[in-house]
Amino acid sequence: MKKTPVKRPSKQAGFTLTEIMVVIFIIGLLSTVVLFNVLGARTDAQVKTARTNVAALTNALEQYSLDMYDYPTTQQGLEALVTEPADTSTSGTYRKGGYIQKLPLDPWGRPFVYERPAERSEKAYDLYSLGADGQEGGEEENADIGNWN
Protein backbone atom coordinates (compact mmCIF):
# COMPACT_ATOMS: atom_id res chain seq x y z
CA MET A 1 0.00 0.00 0.00
CA LYS A 2 1.10 3.41 -0.89
CA LYS A 3 0.72 6.13 1.66
CA THR A 4 -0.50 9.49 0.51
CA PRO A 5 1.41 12.34 1.99
CA VAL A 6 -0.54 14.34 4.54
CA LYS A 7 -0.73 18.04 3.77
CA ARG A 8 0.29 20.10 6.69
CA PRO A 9 -1.16 23.55 7.08
CA SER A 10 1.21 26.27 6.01
CA LYS A 11 2.87 28.19 8.78
CA GLN A 12 2.41 31.35 6.73
CA ALA A 13 -0.99 32.72 7.63
CA GLY A 14 -2.03 36.17 6.43
CA PHE A 15 -4.53 38.32 4.66
CA THR A 16 -5.23 38.28 0.98
CA LEU A 17 -4.70 41.36 -1.13
CA THR A 18 -8.46 41.78 -1.48
CA GLU A 19 -9.00 41.78 2.28
CA ILE A 20 -6.30 44.38 2.77
CA MET A 21 -7.77 46.59 0.05
CA VAL A 22 -11.25 46.39 1.59
CA VAL A 23 -9.89 47.40 5.01
CA ILE A 24 -7.93 50.33 3.52
CA PHE A 25 -11.03 51.48 1.63
CA ILE A 26 -13.16 51.40 4.80
CA ILE A 27 -10.52 53.31 6.79
CA GLY A 28 -10.29 55.92 4.02
CA LEU A 29 -14.05 56.30 3.90
CA LEU A 30 -14.34 56.76 7.67
CA SER A 31 -11.43 59.23 7.68
CA THR A 32 -13.10 61.32 4.99
CA VAL A 33 -16.39 61.50 6.90
CA VAL A 34 -14.62 62.49 10.13
CA LEU A 35 -12.42 65.05 8.35
CA PHE A 36 -15.37 66.85 6.75
CA ASN A 37 -17.21 66.99 10.08
CA VAL A 38 -14.16 68.31 11.95
CA LEU A 39 -13.32 70.95 9.33
CA GLY A 40 -16.89 72.24 9.36
CA ALA A 41 -16.85 72.50 13.14
CA ARG A 42 -13.53 74.36 13.06
CA THR A 43 -14.85 76.95 10.62
CA ASP A 44 -17.99 77.47 12.71
CA ALA A 45 -15.85 77.88 15.83
CA GLN A 46 -13.64 80.49 14.13
CA VAL A 47 -16.66 82.55 13.03
CA LYS A 48 -18.19 82.37 16.52
CA THR A 49 -14.87 83.37 18.09
CA ALA A 50 -14.62 86.38 15.76
CA ARG A 51 -18.16 87.46 16.71
CA THR A 52 -17.36 87.06 20.40
CA ASN A 53 -14.17 89.12 20.06
CA VAL A 54 -16.04 91.86 18.16
CA ALA A 55 -18.63 91.96 20.96
CA ALA A 56 -15.93 92.16 23.65
CA LEU A 57 -14.08 94.95 21.81
CA THR A 58 -17.39 96.77 21.27
CA ASN A 59 -18.05 96.64 25.02
CA ALA A 60 -14.56 97.96 25.73
CA LEU A 61 -15.10 100.79 23.21
CA GLU A 62 -18.39 101.69 24.88
CA GLN A 63 -16.66 101.84 28.29
CA TYR A 64 -13.92 103.99 26.77
CA SER A 65 -16.57 106.30 25.31
CA LEU A 66 -18.32 106.64 28.68
CA ASP A 67 -15.06 107.59 30.41
CA MET A 68 -13.51 109.73 27.68
CA TYR A 69 -16.76 111.19 26.21
CA ASP A 70 -15.78 110.05 22.74
CA TYR A 71 -14.47 107.02 20.83
CA PRO A 72 -10.83 106.64 19.82
CA THR A 73 -9.90 108.09 16.45
CA THR A 74 -8.89 105.83 13.58
CA GLN A 75 -5.28 106.91 14.17
CA GLN A 76 -5.44 105.97 17.86
CA GLY A 77 -7.11 102.72 16.91
CA LEU A 78 -7.91 99.85 19.23
CA GLU A 79 -4.56 100.32 20.95
CA ALA A 80 -6.32 103.12 22.88
CA LEU A 81 -8.14 100.37 24.79
CA VAL A 82 -4.86 98.99 26.11
CA THR A 83 -2.79 102.13 26.74
CA GLU A 84 -3.85 105.73 27.06
CA PRO A 85 -3.29 107.65 23.82
CA ALA A 86 -0.92 110.59 24.09
CA ASP A 87 -3.08 112.77 21.88
CA THR A 88 -6.37 112.69 23.81
CA SER A 89 -8.03 116.08 23.77
CA THR A 90 -11.13 115.16 25.74
CA SER A 91 -11.90 116.12 29.30
CA GLY A 92 -12.60 112.54 30.30
CA THR A 93 -10.62 110.32 32.61
CA TYR A 94 -8.82 107.32 31.18
CA ARG A 95 -9.35 104.17 33.27
CA LYS A 96 -6.26 103.03 35.14
CA GLY A 97 -5.06 99.77 33.59
CA GLY A 98 -6.92 100.33 30.33
CA TYR A 99 -10.09 98.69 29.10
CA ILE A 100 -8.64 95.35 28.00
CA GLN A 101 -5.40 93.59 28.88
CA LYS A 102 -4.30 92.78 25.35
CA LEU A 103 -5.65 93.30 21.85
CA PRO A 104 -6.88 89.99 20.46
CA LEU A 105 -6.20 88.89 16.92
CA ASP A 106 -9.02 87.46 14.87
CA PRO A 107 -9.19 83.65 14.65
CA TRP A 108 -7.15 83.75 11.43
CA GLY A 109 -4.26 85.61 13.10
CA ARG A 110 -4.92 89.13 11.79
CA PRO A 111 -5.74 92.31 13.72
CA PHE A 112 -9.30 93.58 13.80
CA VAL A 113 -10.06 96.62 11.64
CA TYR A 114 -11.26 99.77 13.42
CA GLU A 115 -12.45 102.77 11.40
CA ARG A 116 -14.02 105.99 12.54
CA PRO A 117 -16.36 107.38 11.29
CA ALA A 118 -18.42 104.33 10.42
CA GLU A 119 -19.36 103.42 6.88
CA ARG A 120 -21.08 100.09 7.50
CA SER A 121 -22.59 100.16 10.97
CA GLU A 122 -25.05 102.47 12.68
CA LYS A 123 -22.53 103.16 15.44
CA ALA A 124 -19.89 105.88 15.37
CA TYR A 125 -17.27 103.35 14.24
CA ASP A 126 -16.78 100.16 12.24
CA LEU A 127 -15.09 97.24 13.96
CA TYR A 128 -14.60 94.03 12.03
CA SER A 129 -12.55 91.01 11.01
CA LEU A 130 -11.87 90.42 7.33
CA GLY A 131 -12.85 86.75 7.61
CA ALA A 132 -10.93 83.68 6.54
CA ASP A 133 -9.66 85.12 3.25
CA GLY A 134 -8.34 88.38 4.75
CA GLN A 135 -10.03 90.52 2.10
CA GLU A 136 -13.03 92.82 2.29
CA GLY A 137 -16.36 91.28 1.38
CA GLY A 138 -16.78 87.60 0.73
CA GLU A 139 -19.34 84.97 1.58
CA GLU A 140 -19.71 82.30 4.26
CA GLU A 141 -16.42 81.89 6.20
CA ASN A 142 -14.79 84.56 3.99
CA ALA A 143 -17.41 87.18 4.91
CA ASP A 144 -16.45 90.16 7.05
CA ILE A 145 -17.59 89.81 10.66
CA GLY A 146 -18.27 93.15 12.28
CA ASN A 147 -20.32 95.25 14.66
CA TRP A 148 -23.09 95.56 12.05
CA ASN A 149 -23.93 91.82 12.04
Asked if the 19-146 domain carries CATH number 3.30.700.10, the reply is yes
How far is 93 from 86, CA to CA, in rounded Å? 13
How far is 141 from 14, CA to CA, in rounded Å? 48
88-110 tens-digit pLDDT:
766 788 889 899 999 999 999 99
How far is 41 from 48, CA to CA, in rounded Å? 11
Question: pTM above 0.85?
Answer: no
Q: State how far Cα 104 lies from the chain centre.
A: 11
**Radius of gyration of the chain measured on its C-alpha atoms:** 30
| Domain boundaries defined on the chain | 19-146
55-72 tens-digit pLDDT:
999 999 999 999 989 999
